[in-house]
Amino acid sequence: MNNIPKKTDVVIIGAGPAGSSAATHLAQAGINVIVLEKNIFPRNQVGESLIPHFWKFTDVLGVSEKIEQEGFIQKAGGITAWNNKIQQILFSDFGYTRSGLHVERDIFDNLLLAHAQENGAEIYQQISVKKVDFSDKNAPVVYFTDKRDETNQQSSIACAYVIDATGHSSLLAQQFGTRQTISSETNFLSLWGYFKNSRYAGVDRRSHSSESIRAIKPVTFVMSYEDGWLWHIVLRDKSSVGLVVHTNKTKGMNKAQREAFFKQTCSQLPYLKELLAPATFIDGSLQYRPDYSYYSTQICGDNFYCIGDAAAFVDPIFSHGVQNAFYNASLASVAIKESFKKPQKRGRYSQLCASRMQQFYGFSRALSLGDFGCNGVNRDLVKSLMKAMPPLELELMLVAAEMTNRSENFKQLAKEAGVWETFIAQSRGEQLASIDTLAF
């Protein structure tokens, strides 16, 4: 068992896509990086749908070829059945030559972590970080419990910068007391589990058995219903199914009752029940997340950065989670690299990083949930991002906004940014196909 050093340049807490990506960026720049992860990889994780935007980040990381070689399921786009209106979006209509993916996150995340290690980052698993002492602004101290053996040794490591990539645990936001759960008219929670032998929604708008997965590309299927919305994502040997429901629907339920509720709901919903008709639920696979949507009021400082879900979580409906992790990791890495070069400007670099991260968070929130001007969202930052985004990338997001009933505020922002009229004039109607029914 290797001893964890007492000092390094950067400590990254958490080894998911955000943490491992930041580790790769920094290690490639010759910065000493140590990643502390509480679990043992590979480990289960939700968030299997990736839109094609992610490739630009993996190209920079140098890990795209490994992802391609893994042979994940390629997806062609998405179908939504929202408020009885069925629509389809295809990535190829927006000039994307590389597919989105449906990935097993345990395998995908482990691949990214191994890549970080190959690039020089030191990885330590089964390390539970308890707190970070920022008393010395030039040398934060990370306190942790080493659980690699039965002694559960308490130890610490000093560094120049800390990156919190702990996901929904939000270690620093919890320590600072800066985490804010988003409250709206109706609060939601998420339940998800996995099924064997499910049929899937194909790009041809029909359902298919899993044997056809390489011949007929799948799409991510999303549907609204009375109590919320659902997803169905086919993987190589199982399918991920999630319900995002009103909080009061499962109030007071224990684990067994939640599972019964989940399976019963899945068996009754149109389209989903047809996809799952030949399927078998994988016992023990149900997971539950009550702290559904949140943000932190303090995500960057002179010597720390909160990235990915450790900074904020919006809604998985448009598959922004992993993309956000990659984006945050690249921003924080640049800020830290520049801070090592010019320590006197580290405060300025952290402020710029925080602004960019809040900008993307606001964009995601306005797109997914429709809110802006509250809950940590700066509408001027969102409009600025809209103006700066590559046209095809923005167009895809604007079309996606049209697929649900959550888009009014987002469209208002697009109008104020001066990009909506151009979008309407060019191709909105052509890129979003309406469907009378689905052959499921």
Phi, psi (degrees; rounded to nearest 5) at 380: -65, -35
Which two three-digit tokens encode residue 323? 């993309």
**Residue 40 pLDDT exceeds 80:** yes
Cα 310 to Cα 240, 284, 290, 373: the distances in Å are: 23, 26, 16, 21
| Distance of alpha carbon 377 from alpha carbon 240, whole angstroms | 30
Is residue 429 very low, low, confident or very high in pLDDT (cuts 50, 70, 90)? very low
pLDDT, position 15: 98
The most confident of 84-98, 164-178, 412-426, by mean pLDDT: 164-178
Q: Residue 255: in which H helix or E strand, if any?
A: helix 255-268
Cβ-contact 275, 201 below 8 angstroms: yes
Cβ-contact 185, 193 below 8 angstroms: no
Give residue-wise pLDDT tens across range 101-118: 999 999 999 999 999 999
pLDDT, position 42: 97
Mean pLDDT of 9-24: 98
**In degrees, to the nearest 5, what angle opens at C-alpha 253 toward C-alphas 247 and 255?**
110
Is residue 257 very low, low, confident or very high in pLDDT (cuts 50, 70, 90)? very high
The burial class, CB within 10 Å (0-12 / 13-18 / 19+), for 138 is exposed
Which one is predicted more confidently, 364 or 23? 23
Mean pLDDT of 329-352: 97
Which one is predicted more confidently, 146 or 395? 146
Q: Residue 160: in which H helix or E strand, if any?
A: none
The burial class, CB within 10 Å (0-12 / 13-18 / 19+), for 312 is buried
Range with lowest mean pLDDT among 133-147, 174-188, 301-315: 174-188
Is residue 422 very low, low, confident or very high in pLDDT (cuts 50, 70, 90)? confident
Which two three-digit tokens encode residue 136? 């010395």
Share of the chain above pLDDT 90, in %: 67
Which one is predicted more confidently, 245 or 108? 108
pLDDT, position 292: 66
| Distance of alpha carbon 137 from alpha carbon 419, whole angstroms | 43
pLDDT, position 371: 55
Mean pLDDT of 429-434: 60
**Domains parsed from the chain with CATH numbers:** 10-74+102-181+294-350 (3.50.50.60), 188-289 (3.30.9.100), 367-435 (no CATH)
Q: What is the dihedral of CA 205, 209, 214, 217, to 10 degrees?
A: 20
**In degrees, to the nearest 5, what angle opens at C-alpha 396 toward C-alphas 392 and 402?**
145
Cα 319 to Cα 24, 231, 324: the distances in Å are: 23, 11, 9
